[in-house]
Amino acid sequence: MSDTQEIARGLEGVVFTESKLTYIDGERGILAHLGIPIQEWAEHSSFEELSCALLNGHLPSQAELDSFDQSLKSLRNLPQPVLEAISGYPKTCHPMQALRTAISHLGVLDPDADDVSPAGRRAIGLKLIAQMSTAIAAIYRSRQNAAPLPPREDLSHAGNFLYMIRGSAPTPEETRLFDMALILQVDHSMNASTFTAIATASTLSDMYSAVTSAIGSLKGPLHGGANEAVMDMLDEIGSVENAAAYITAKLDRHEKIMGVGHRVYKYFDPRSRVLRDYAEVVAKKQGKSRYYQILEVIEKIVVERLGSRGIYPNVDFYSGVVYSDLGIPKPFFTPIFALARISGWVASVDEYTEHNRLLRPTARYVGLNDQHYRPIEQR
Ligand SMILES: CC(C)(COP(=O)(O)OP(=O)(O)OC[C@H]1O[C@@H](n2cnc3c(N)ncnc32)[C@H](O)[C@@H]1OP(=O)(O)O)[C@@H](O)C(=O)NCCC(=O)NCCS
């Protein structure tokens, strides 16, 4: 590397591969998978269908979707040693630590873990999409001092997850809402965790390692976790009456508002619009929840004061409230992100490794030169 070559801090703007999966236009607030806008996926599709489409590169036929769905259902069970290990994890550790460990444990127990052929990777990827749900639910139940529930084959991916954490089947409306929330998080082009999964797989390491490293990456608060911070903020604000003064004071102090701003979107994140539209439908039926009313006040002030600088609500602005409405507690928001994003990780690893090249960037050396080793007693 020459001394004059510019350093791309944070790899911003560095293009290292091509992808057919996800298109984003941050200026216009567009997100599309396989060319289809996220709003249409959210309205008409399911987590299973979007996952199948991304893995196969096209909208599936009914037969393809049925077969994909059946495979996921048949792969949901976790091996007993993993269930036992989960119940032994300290209840104080973050659920993302527990999830990272459980997924790695699944690899230890799989005799085919090191199969990095396209078919082998795909088979493990499918297994992990199915088992991620059961693992998160088991981690959740262990914190309630409750035994894990075996998955139910008669329920969809979204419905079965809600069943496994609650112990009773969700209503069709709850299932639909959760399914939509998953759809919104399935893939988002070259984000940090997807890049991490690809970097691991590019060494020809196995799919368990790729997903385990991606979970570690997602765990960081600069990636997953912002919706937890939004809920903390809403709890701190407390009432609709306090909202305007709280946000105005924060902006006057040049402090960041959680759930607002995005590295890519310089207009409304389209996923935040889908969630807001949903919240409005609920509000019409049941009246506006306190959280929703506070968010409305914040959104108005943020758009007025920061919109001209391209700072608008992002997906995390509303997603925490949706998860809370479904009875999912804050520490499980990031695991829910993983539950959705695993399909994006698997599809991206598949796509990249088809024409694999080891990811190995360069750092400019700025240390000392021409030094000599000195024995320790002479230092
Ligand atoms: C997501 C995020 C890191 C992207 O930011 P970025 O592109 O790196 O931009 P920066 O953090 O460098 O901010 C650029 C400017 O916008 C302002 N800004 C960015 N996000 C802001 C926010 N949420 N609230 C208020 N001001 C914000 C910064 O204060 C900074 O202002 P300055 O130029 O006067 O110093 C940032 O918007 C953020 O921290 N948002 C809150 C956390 C969040 O919701 N994350 C989830 C993302 S999906």
pLDDT value, residue 4: 80
In this predicted model, what pLDDT tens digit does every residue of 9-21 receive, in sequence order? Answer: 989 889 999 999 9
The protein residue with its alpha carbon nearest to ligand 1, atom 8, reads 263
Ligand 1 mean position, distance from CA 116 (Å)? 39
Pairing of strands 30-33, 36-37: antiparallel
223 is catalytic: yes
Contact (CB, 8 A) for 314 and 259: yes
In the numeric block, the tokens 């310089």 are attached to 266
Catalytic residue among 25, 114, 115, 223: 223
Q: How far is 260 from 250, CA to CA, in rounded Å?
A: 13
Best of 262, 305, 321 for a ligand 1 pocket test (most atoms within 8 Å of beta carbon): 262
Structure tokens at 190: 């070259």
Q: Report the first-to-last Cα separation within the chain, whole angstroms.
A: 32
Question: What secondary structure does DSSP assign to 328-366, as a single string?
Answer: --GGGHHHHHHHHHHHHHHHHHHHHHHT-----------
- The C-alpha atoms of residue 224 and residue 219 are separated, in whole angstroms, by 6
Phi and psi angles of residue 121, each rounded to the nearest 5 degrees, phi first: -60, -45
Q: Is the CB of 314 under 6 A from ligand 1?
A: yes
Are the C-beta atoms of residues 333 and 227 closer than 8 Å to each other? Answer: yes
**CA–CA–CA angle 255, 256, 260 (5° rounding):** 155
- Cα separation, 244 vs 259, in Å, equals 16
Quick check: is 325 catalytic?
no
Phi, psi of 140 (to 5 degrees): -60, -50
- Testing ligand 1's pocket by substitution, the residue of 260, 269, 302, 306 carrying the most ligand atoms inside 8 A of its CB is 260
Measured CA to CA, the distance from residue 284 to residue 279 in angstroms comes to 9
Nearest residue CA, atom 47 of ligand 1? 262
Cβ atoms of 21 and 54 closer than 8 Å: yes
Residue 228: per-residue pLDDT: 87
Domains along the chain with CATH numbers: 22-221+329-354 (1.10.580.10), 226-325 (1.10.230.10)
The neighbour count for residue 298, using CB atoms within 10 Å, is: 25
Clarify whether 350 is annotated catalytic: no
Per-residue pLDDT at 284: 73
Determine which one of 262, 269, 325, 350 is catalytic. 262
Query: 258 CB under 6 A from ligand 1?
Result: yes
For the stretch 51-84, pLDDT in tens is 999 999 999 999 999 999 999 999 999 999 999 9
Contact call for residues 198 and 355 (beta carbons, < 8 A): no
DSSP assignment of 294-314 equals HHHHHHHHHHHHHGGGT--B-
| Residue 258 Cα to ligand 1 middle (Å) | 9
State the sign of the Cα–Cα–Cα–Cα dihedral 205, 211, 212, 214: positive
Q: What 8-state DSSP symbol labels residue 171?
A: P
User: pLDDT at position 53, please?
Assistant: 98
Residues of the chain with pLDDT under 70: 1
Which pLDDT tens digit goes with each residue over 233-256? 999 999 999 999 999 999 999 999
**Ligand 1 near 94 CB (within 6 A):** no
Angle between helices 118-143 and 80-88 (to 10 degrees): 40
Q: Looking at ligand 1, which residue's alpha carbon is closest to its atom 37? A: 261
